[in-house]
Amino acid sequence: MSTTQSERLRGLLEPLVSAKDLDLEEIEVSRAGRRRMLRIVVDSDEGVELDACAELSRAISDRLDETDAMGDEEYVLEVSSPGADRPLTEHRHYVRATGRLVKLQFHEGGELVARILSVDGDGLDLEVPGVKGRKPTTRRVEFPDIAKARVEIEFNRKDKKEEEA
């Protein structure tokens, strides 16, 4: 997708997304056979429910029908929330991942899997799991040191309500 089209779509759609108290995370236009696929990814601190995606999809579709932003070719519109394994690239992504296990890769090399305890403007406070029966430790990581970050999927973690019971 050209930068101009991307910027135009963002300018057109961001007010609709913001009006629903959501963040516009990503806009992607790709080919799917003869048609084009327009993927819009939205998120919020509370997550995004299916009904909110459907309602936003209708509003976006109506707005796109009023303009020539997608040209004359057919396209398929998909509005969704980000996947659980999407990269953490913005400060708000780290805040939303508080309490989750993340895998960090560092600019200086090496990586770390740890749980985010808290996030501030400069970096993260993490809980590093103990190895071979040792207790977990805490570690501070500054944002400039992080090359890549991604939430790790946990299938067997008890949620806080189960732990308190």
Residue 71's nearest CA partner among 40, 39, 41, 36 is 36
Which pairing describes strands 111-119 and 123-128: parallel, antiparallel, or unpaired?
antiparallel
Where do we find the tokens 């799917």? 32
Q: Residue 15: which pLDDT band, with cuts at 50, 70 and 90?
A: very high
Give the pLDDT score at 157. 64
Average pLDDT over residues 98-112: 93
Q: What is the pLDDT of residues 111-164, one digit of tens each?
A: 999 999 999 999 999 999 888 888 989 999 999 999 999 998 888 765 554 444
Q: How far apart are CA 108 and CA 117, in angstroms?
A: 23
Q: What is the pLDDT of residues 61-94, one digit of tens each?
A: 999 989 888 878 888 999 998 877 788 989 989 9
Q: Calculate ∠ Cα 95-151-14, nearest 5°.
A: 55
Give the pLDDT score at 74. 84
Q: Residue 36: which pLDDT band, with cuts at 50, 70 and 90?
A: confident
Give the pLDDT score at 84. 75
Q: CB count, 10 Å around CB of 141? A: 19
Model-wide pTM > 0.85:
no
Give the pLDDT score at 163. 46
